[in-house]
Structure 1
């Protein structure tokens, strides 16, 4: 890649609004540290020798080809998928050394939003949001209702949505209810699996802005599995890329654009990616 293109990528990154910027973080700011991770289903190896750091207060976009293991990594960090070997540290603690009580305490610091929302169809919006509260907290019915309404407002939904069923909601509203449930316990880290999948461009852009706003106001760390180029450009502080069963690159957008790895060149240099670039940058893309 030419030096001119790398400089332009750096310039494009610098043009993003200042609140998105994340300064170089010290080692103490690593909230998730994955080292030499191997995950396999039978004889099929999904990832092997994978290393990744997630820094405090950042939105890390995580990309990779379909079926390469992006969501599997999320589930492995959460303890939903067993690893073959490697270490996962969260807030400086090796999760393998935690007892049941410590593990439950750690889970309270996580918020998870699955790709299709995963709302329970038999429950109302309010009841879906209250599920984590009922599992981890001992609250009166009145306080549960009050907290659910706070979370609804936090994600930009009207109060009258509380008593609706998931079948009455639009795709964008389902995403926001799922996000409200992910925020139910005031987590430190939020895991988002393809959060803008299925949304129209306006809805996706609004959701990206919501994530950025929540990160800034609540001090969240966000691990976002996505294939949405717009999200990578507008919302993410850094990007991690998965290929060849491991993380092949991690850094700001300029790092992705400067890489010579074939998959990254195809992903960030293809026609759809070029269309998303600023005009001056696109004209000089090779």
Structure 2
């Protein structure tokens, strides 16, 4: 464990925060290949955590393991204070209702309309009359910034950005406490990605969500993430704020956050200070 990771993890204000996701000594492998080895990670209530790492290091593997889509070989995972392994099936269903997931490509059912896709979790977990489900689906559609007529469109009729928003509306269908986003801005143009970041931040603030975001998008990390965790060598190498990442001496972290593609990106605090001086307003990105 790096010195920075140890220092950040031991800070009193972090220890006192409400942990909504806890992974302890989690090991995941496929055959003889170990992907995650005794990994530890905490996600705190109300934060947007950006989870990053080189391609193939296991970022999505960890997310799918947390969601029980992949088995783990050892370790303990607690979500919202509950250990899945100790819950009955009805208790697991209750816990599942408090989670929302947006997969990388949206994973919408192609044979269902946007409205019907959003209603899938409602049909699985709730017993509601059709008119109420329709009303709730339209509410979620408005919540993610889609036009009302998107409700009756099929995924094949949607743009990439609309698919992301529709998938997010489905993730919010049951009013979850914790939302998992897998590469939410991948495939979006810079304007669409910025708007999606702003939407995530707005929903976090208005709905009180906790967001676990797997991403490669430096703009997202700098503009909306409260904290960042870096995966490498089969575990979390370092975690902390953007400023902590910029100060970290790990070679990969330095290359990622201070490399050529990061040259035009500056921390939110620096942008705010600059805008205060210029009177330009509070923007989250350097243009």
TM-score (norm 1): 0.88
- 1:146-202 CA-to-partner distances (Å, cap 9, x unmatched) read 000000000011111100111111100000000000000000000000000000000
Structure 1 unmatched ranges of 5 or more: 1-22, 282-286
Query: 1:25 deviation in Å?
Result: 4.4
The structure 2 residue matched to 1:92, chosen from 59, 81, 84, is 81
CA distance in 2: counterparts of 1:98 and 1:76, whole angstroms = 17
Indicate the structure whose relative CO is greater, using CA pairs within 8 Å and at least 6 residues apart. Answer: 1
Q: Is 1:166 paired with 2:116? A: no
RMSD (CA atoms): 1.3
CA distance in 2: counterparts of 1:221 and 1:245, whole angstroms = 24
1:1-286 alignment runs, 5 A limit = 24-27=13-16, 29-277=18-266
SS at 1:35 equivalent: strand
CA distance in 2: counterparts of 1:31 and 1:128, whole angstroms = 27
CA distance in 2: counterparts of 1:235 and 1:24, whole angstroms = 21
CA distance in 1: counterparts of 2:127 and 2:168, whole angstroms = 22
Dislocated runs of 4+, deviation >3 Å: 23-28
SS at 2:263 equivalent: helix
Query: 1:275 deviation in Å?
Result: 2.3
Query: 1:263 deviation in Å?
Result: 1.1
TM-score (norm 2): 0.87
- 1:89-136 CA-to-partner distances (Å, cap 9, x unmatched) read 112222211111111111000000000000111111110110000100
